[in-house]
Amino acid sequence: MVCIVILGRQGSGKGTQSTLIERKYGCLHVSTGDMLRSAVSARSELGMKAEALMRSGRLISDEIAIGIVAERLQHEDAINATGVLLDGFPRNLEQAEALEALLAAEGGSITLAVNLEVPVEVAVERLLARGRSDDTEESIARRLEDYEIQTMPLLQWFEQRNLLFSVDGLGVVEDVFYRVSSVIDSVLDVACQQASPTSKQTKRQSRC
């Protein structure tokens, strides 16, 4: 199974690009932020635990975040998916190591990480413009700070594994997606060739 991780600070366009990746490659989009927001709306136990932290822009505990991803990957649609796109996870080294272990347990691994690069000032502008309920100035500042401290070291973690592909996230959505899909195509083509040098075309059509 292909496992794509999308990285980038809040406001980098991860959600928008994830929807386009999901549509083009038929991967299952797993967004921890979306799962948590649904849990908050449903007033579930998880939602109650996460709500205040999310509103103040803090991360929920690694244990809970890893738990919801582990559980999500056990669902039938995930087991049968040809690919999974992880959005909002991993957020730190501990979560990255846990993801590696989760995939390895099923004989899999992370295929690539796409890092959407957008300067902080642009990200803040975009976040204030979208006006989500957890997008107050204070929570935005905290989330961006957390990103620098916790998530930036992940870039090196992915780079050391030759899995990191940084893409300029500025410009219109279509242009950014062109860059994103070029990166994904190049990695999938290499993966397909390694899997079966003779049936590259067939494999490419089914996105591995």
Six-digit token string for 54: 């999310």
Active site residue 49: no
Active site residue 58: no
84 scored as a contact of ligand AMP (CB under 6 A): no
**Residue from the set 9, 29, 72, 91 that interacts with ligand AMP by CB under 6 A:** 91
Selecting among 23, 43, 130, 200, the annotated active-site residue is: 130
**Residue from the set 24, 33, 102, 117 that interacts with ligand AMP by CB under 6 A:** 33
**Residue from the set 20, 60, 78, 93 that interacts with ligand AMP by CB under 6 A:** 60
40 scored as a contact of ligand AMP (CB under 6 A): no
Six-digit token string for 93: 């080294």
CA distance 69 to 77: 13
Please check whether residue 72 is in contact with residue 35, taking contact to mean a CB–CB distance below 8 angstroms.
Answer: yes
Task: Mark out the alpha helices in 42-136 (DSSP H runs).
Answer: 45-55, 62-73, 76-80, 93-105, 120-130
**Residue from the set 12, 17, 95, 181 that interacts with ligand AMP by CB under 6 A:** 95
Active site residue 142: no
Please check whether residue 6 is in contact with residue 84, taking contact to mean a CB–CB distance below 8 angstroms.
Answer: no
Task: Classify burial at 101, counting beta carbons within 10 Å of its beta carbon; exposed 0-12, middle 13-18, buried 19 or more.
Answer: exposed
Residues 6+ apart with CB under 8 A from 65: 32, 59, 89, 91, 95
The Cβ of residue 87 has, within 10 Å, a number of other Cβ atoms equal to 22
Q: How far is CA 17 from the centre of its chain?
A: 10
Piece in contact with ligand AMP (CB under 6 A), picked from 16-24, 55-63, 117-125, 188-196 = 55-63
**Residue from the set 25, 89, 165, 177 that interacts with ligand AMP by CB under 6 A:** 89
39 scored as a contact of ligand AMP (CB under 6 A): no
Piece in contact with ligand AMP (CB under 6 A), picked from 30-38, 155-163, 164-172, 193-201 = 30-38
Active site residue 14: yes
CA distance 117 to 132: 21
| Residues annotated as catalytic (active site), given as ranges | 14, 91, 130, 132, 143
Kindly list the residues in this chain that would bind ligand AMP in the complex (CB under 6 A): 10, 32-33, 36, 53-54, 57-60, 65, 88-89, 91, 95, 143
